[in-house]
Amino acid sequence: MKKNLHEAVVVIMGASSGIGEATALAFARKGARLVLAARNAAALQHVAKLCREEGVDVLVHPTDVTQAEKVKELAEVAQSFGEIDVWVSNAGVGAVGAFEETPIEAHHRVIETNLIGHINDAHAAIPVFRKQGHGVFVNMISLGGFASTPFAAAYGASKFGLKGFSEALRAEVADMPDIHICDIYPAFIDTPGLSHGANYTGAELSAPPPVYDARSVADAIVRVVQQPKDTTTVGSFTDLVRVGHFLAPAFTARAMAWVMRRHFQKAEKAARSSGNLFRPARDPGGIDGGLRPSVPPAAGIGLAAALFVTGFVIGAVEGAASPSNRRR
């Protein structure tokens, strides 16, 4: 991999806003040549304009990641720039709501985008990488790949599935030392994704603190492309969730469900909506979602740490008190 990334060819799926837009600009500042894809053509053109102002070449190719043949077409278009050095698989959608109150079509669409879409990306990129003998495939997962997401069941299923897919793919390309499958696990990130997503709760949605800047995720992606590693977490909260789920998975899930229920009870009312599941968002969105915290990140991390320590203690006590342990 070209360590300075100058004139490296970088494909970014889901480049129209949020982490995708921040990532496009981060690579543009490194002098990379960009191929930007998403469903929203107008938003892509806006991001392309910003990137061209950094003095780089940009191709825009509107693509729905759920359509495998269109993703293959994107790979062909990208090769007009030359060999593809990096493919950032970043498309994602969400649907928040009680499982049975969320339309089954919404659950399907989340899986189609967040899991099948990333499989479509890899199915287009990996043959190109094998032919070239090199390439970095970046899978955008989330802390939802480490712990369950009550009231966003399909989202959690897609992220758990994507983690397993990525591990399997990494093993299959182990015979090619210059092909890398790199997973990114961000914490809660300040993007328009939550406002753009589907909401079947009847309440306004917000992310719990700590909420991090999308540019920190973009910087992590650039670093991992220059120095590939299998797993990269962004935000200390992700590491706490990972440890908490390992120590007390049932408690962690119940605690998250309790937090979500409390939020729904206190939040302002909102109309139910399918958001951007079946069509692009009406507004371009930009990078930021206006979610960054009124509670400082350190306070949110402290709260999370307290929850997970409590969960560990409860798990240990319950384990010690179980009939099987008493018989020993």
Tell me the mean pLDDT in the region 7-13. Answer: 97
> Is residue 188 a contact partner of residue 289, using CB atoms and an 8 Å limit?
no
Q: Whose CA is closest to 191, among 19, 7, 9, 61?
A: 19
* Predicted local confidence at residue 6, as pLDDT: 94
How is residue 188 written in tokens? 């809660």
Residue 186 to residue 204: CA distance in whole angstroms:
23
Tell me the mean pLDDT in the region 163-179. Answer: 97
**Banded pLDDT at 64 (limits 50, 70, 90):** very high
- Is residue 193 scored above 80 in pLDDT? yes
Q: Could you say which of 155, 185, 200, 212 is catalytic? A: 155
Q: pTM value?
A: 0.89
155 is catalytic: yes
- Is residue 319 scored above 90 in pLDDT? no
Residue 305 to residue 261: CA distance in whole angstroms:
20
Lowest-confidence region among 93-97, 184-188, 296-300: 296-300
* Predicted local confidence at residue 3, as pLDDT: 67
Lowest-confidence region among 158-162, 247-251, 267-271, 323-327: 323-327
* Predicted local confidence at residue 137, as pLDDT: 98
**Banded pLDDT at 208 (limits 50, 70, 90):** confident
Q: Whose CA is closest to 271, among 191, 199, 172, 180?
A: 199
Contacts 24+ apart (CB under 8 A), 7-10: 7/31, 7/32, 7/33, 8/32, 8/33, 8/85, 8/86, 9/33, 9/35, 9/78, 9/81, 9/82, 9/83, 9/84, 9/85, 9/86, 10/34, 10/35, 10/85, 10/86, 10/87, 10/88, 10/225
Could you tell me what percent of the chain has a pLDDT over 90?
73
How is residue 164 written in tokens? 């397993």
**Banded pLDDT at 293 (limits 50, 70, 90):** low
Other CB atoms within 10 A of residue 175 CB: 8
Please give the DSSP secondary-structure letter assigned to residue 122: H
Instruction: Show Cβ contacts of residue 278 under 8 Å, excluding neighbours closer than 6 positions.
Output: 109
**Banded pLDDT at 26 (limits 50, 70, 90):** very high
Domains present along the chain, CATH in parentheses: 9-326 (3.40.50.720)
Lowest-confidence region among 198-202, 230-234, 261-265, 294-298: 294-298
**Per-residue model confidence as pLDDT tens digits over 219-275:** 999 999 999 999 999 998 888 888 988 999 998 889 888 888 998 889 899 999 999
* Predicted local confidence at residue 263, as pLDDT: 86
